[in-house]
Structure 1
Amino acid sequence: MISQLKIIIRLFLAFFLCLFLPASCIDKLDFVGDTQEGQLVIYGLLTNIVERQVVNVSRTSAFGLGPTGVQNAEVSLLTSSGERYSYILRGIGEYVLEGFGASEDESYAIEVTVDQKVYRSRFEKMPKMLAEDVLSFEFKNEPFRTESPESVFTVYSETTLPSSQDPIYLRWMLEETYIWPLTYLPGTGFPPPPPPPCFISDVIEPNRLNLFDGSSTNTRKGNFVLGKRKVDNSFLYPFFVSVKQLSINREAYEYWGKIRIVVNNRGSLFDTPPAPVFGNISNVEDREETVLGYFEVAKTKVTRIYTTRADVPFYLVDPCQYFPNKPDDSYASECKSCEARAQGRRWTNDAPVWWKFD
């Protein structure tokens, strides 16, 4: 299953040949050399929410292929006061620290040891301010991934910045979660209890980088398109969008901004970068080694919005509607299995604690 952070790792593999870019853009991006197969990629996000904190460690693969997870790393979170917390390997290249939240009074860094080489980020301090997001959505026909009009679901935010004059830099990430009831096939004899429903989650537009520089505007409000996705039968039942607002520091904002420039110029997120953007992680004994990735510490809040079938102005077909005379083996696998429906996305039979709607 591809986690949200694994998808973000691909942002570091988003760059095409820098020679095709204007010279001024090359200077601005601080390109260094060519990316080689096997270079280390480290991405970590630490938030103030007490949750599962994740660091992904991988190596670049051949051109056109995604990174390969590193399984033998030792990953630690360091604090400016001298504490050290160990991450545990939980997936392919995914290292987690359970039940931890960052404090405004501390600075944090990550340390990753791979093949007896030590890599460390700069210490980062969490920003103190957040903005207010008021979410809305819209269903309409418009060109999205094709030139022809499609039925598209769009999420918007009206964002109000804090009254402070201190600079604020924001990034948003979107995740969908929808419920998918499996088809109740009673069979013969005394009917068994109906199967539990599936709760399926995925990132909305993982290739979109939503960034905002609050220091460059005199207005305290902004209206943003945060994400789009094609309308399908996922909207037959309650469909939640969780918007994670990350308040980041100026260096992290500039880093993601440089990546967005290259992505927008060349258009693809899933190719090995021939020329990396500098991050904040390095080999402590060999500063000349190019290490891709970034460790960011973000003050975070989550805002949610949901839709029901009544909100959707398009006709949706339920492929799993039960008919008494329909043979059980004629139902598609997605009607009988959460795993088949999820197709690699994260899923569970347990409703999230926030799964509440009118």
Structure 2
Amino acid sequence: MISRKTKYVQLLVVFSPIFFLLSSCIEKLDFFDEDQEVQLVIYGLLTDNFERQIVSVSKTSAVGLAPMGVRDARVSLLTASGDKYRYNSTGSGEYILEGFAAIEGESYALEVILEDNVYISKYEKMPELLADDNISFEFNKEPFRTETPESVFTVISETTLPSSSDPIYLRWTVEETYFWPLLHFPGTGFPPPPPPPCFISDVIEPDRINLFDGSGSSSRIGNFVLGKRLVDNSFLYPFFVSVRQLSINREAYEYWEKIKIVINNQGSLFDIPPAPVIGNISNVEDQNEIVLGFFEVAKTKVTRVYTTRADVPFSLVDPCQYFPSIPENSYPSECKSCDARAQGRRWTNTPPDWWKFD
């Protein structure tokens, strides 16, 4: 029987690429025991948008802790035409390439040099096709985190495939960004200026993997649930949902399909036990070393929708409603600090460039 500690270590290894974010045939899943060595995890996503391209490099822990970022790697993007672009380290295991966009038809590989070892991915070609996403949302009462009905927000896509005989493979990620004002306490004498509001972002259902294989579909239109979350006071103010469609190649699709299989098969004694999923990155000198993660090249587009309080059919309680008779120190910290409200999520005081609504 697999011990609880061993199973936890295995799950961390399976999810390592997702935590940081996230071959043409499906390879056999390689199982390992609790004596498994620490393993390198490399994940990179390259898109055709002029944006910050990100690669994460980390190592798993043999004691069941979350993977630790590797700070001293040298990370470069290679092109099939012979160019090389260096990523810059942020000091936390994340490496960035600013303002770069992949070119349609070009092939790219990732090179990571660490401790005199050279790791290189297979060359991946930028896909050419995208589908059309018509994004909508629903508010419902349904079981979600418990067996009893809860107030749930659901993101849905009606997706129309391109009229092409070429295969298309899709993956979606869903992110929320909502507005949160901080309380402005008048004070005495000359009142201070009001504090800037918070714009708080997070991934909706980060462990959900949204995939679609259009190569064998007989219909050009499909309906997909892309994400769910509980309704709370985040919906008191404008709440944006950003759906990123990634058009990927078959190898990337099969990689994420294997990750999805492992995630969905962990609850029963008769399920396949968690296992590391091997991607497209290897040690040039030691092909026997197991390297986790994947270098993904994707054609991408983002579709956004937003909600306001008027859309929400449930009662919402504002914890920061101001009353002059209530002293400042009686209000929750989330009413006075973006950091306290975000609780580890990303936040900024500057609205995104796309923050526009009627």
TM-score normalised according to structure 2 size: 0.90
One-letter amino acid matched to 1:79: T
Find the counterpart in structure 2 of residue 127 from structure 1.
127
Quote the Cα distance in structure 1 between the aligned partners of 2:13 and 2:223.
28
CA distance 1:91–1:243, shift in 2 (3 Å):
farther
Deviation at 1:275, TM superposition (A): 2.9
Quote the Cα distance in structure 2 between the aligned partners of 1:67 and 1:161.
37
Quote the Cα distance in structure 2 between the aligned partners of 1:245 and 1:11.
21
Deviation at 1:165, TM superposition (A): 1.0
Q: Name the SS of the counterpart of 1:196 in structure 2.
A: coil
One-letter amino acid matched to 1:170: L
Summarize the alignment of residues 148-227 of structure 1 with structure 2, pairs less than 5 Å apart: 148-227=148-227
Find the counterpart in structure 2 of residue 34 from structure 1.
32
Q: 1:72-98 deviations in whole A, cap 9, x for unaligned?
A: 111001111111111111152111111
Find the counterpart in structure 2 of residue 11 from structure 1.
15
User: Aligned Cα RMSD in Å?
Assistant: 1.9
Quote the Cα distance in structure 1 between the aligned partners of 2:125 and 2:13.
22
Q: Name the SS of the counterpart of 1:259 in structure 2.
A: helix
Find the counterpart in structure 2 of residue 325 from structure 1.
325
Deviation at 1:105, TM superposition (A): 3.2
Quote the Cα distance in structure 2 between the aligned partners of 1:267 and 1:131.
34
CA distance 1:112–1:13, shift in 2 (3 Å):
closer
Q: Name the SS of the counterpart of 1:355 in structure 2.
A: coil
Quote the Cα distance in structure 1 between the aligned partners of 2:253 and 2:225.
18
Contact 1:79 1:107 in 2 (8 A): yes
User: Unaligned regions of 5+ residues in structure 2, if any?
Assistant: 1-11, 19-24
Quote the Cα distance in structure 2 between the aligned partners of 1:338 and 1:200.
8
Deviation at 1:291, TM superposition (A): 0.3
Contact 2:17 2:43 in 1 (8 A): no
CA distance 1:13–1:55, shift in 2 (3 Å):
closer
Quote the Cα distance in structure 2 between the aligned partners of 1:292 and 1:249.
19
Quote the Cα distance in structure 2 between the aligned partners of 1:351 and 1:157.
25
Would you say 1:248 and 2:252 are equivalent positions? no
Summarize the alignment of residues 1-358 of structure 1 with structure 2, pairs less than 5 Å apart: 11-12=15-16, 30-34=28-32, 36-266=36-266, 275-358=275-358
Q: 1:204-231 deviations in whole A, cap 9, x for unaligned?
A: 0000000000011110000000000000
Contact 1:52 1:96 in 2 (8 A): yes
CA distance 1:290–1:99, shift in 2 (3 Å):
same
Q: Percent identity?
A: 72
One-letter amino acid matched to 2:275: A
One-letter amino acid matched to 2:342: A
- Name which structure has the greater RCO, CA cutoff 8 Å, separation 6+: 1
Find the counterpart in structure 1 of residue 21 from structure 2.
none
One-letter amino acid matched to 1:282: S
Quote the Cα distance in structure 1 between the aligned partners of 2:150 and 2:254.
34
TM-score normalised according to structure 1 size: 0.90
Q: Name the SS of the counterpart of 2:156 in structure 1.
A: strand
Find the counterpart in structure 2 of residue 18 from structure 1.
none
One-letter amino acid matched to 2:331: Y
Moved over 2 A (4+): 8-14, 62-65
One-letter amino acid matched to 2:341: R
Out of 282-291 and 54-63, give the one that drifted further.
Answer: 54-63
Q: 1:187-213 deviations in whole A, cap 9, x for unaligned?
A: 111112110000000000000000000
Q: 1:154-208 deviations in whole A, cap 9, x for unaligned?
A: 0000000000111000000000000000011111111121100000000000000
Deviation at 1:37, TM superposition (A): 4.2
